[in-house]
Amino acid sequence: MTKGKKTAKYKYYKVEGDKVVRLKRFCPKCGPGVFLAEHLNRYSCGRCGYMEWKQPAKKEE
């Protein structure tokens, strides 16, 4: 995290009725509580450096 800026945690969760739904994915190496950052073409973990490429959308003709 950058100095002086707080994380907007309300963007990571959504409340549906009585349940809390997570909107972002967890890092498979770090475990629950560490979210993956979503970039244009990949997901990445800022803690351990794990990275997953997004699958390109298939074109239907």
As annotated, the binding site for Zn(2+) includes 27, 30, 45, 48
Which residues make up each annotated binding site? 27, 30, 45, 48
Amino acid at 28: P
On the CB side of 40, CA atoms within 13 Å amount to: 0
Residue 11, phi then psi, degrees to nearest 5:
-80, -10
In DSSP terms, 31 is beta-bridged to 27
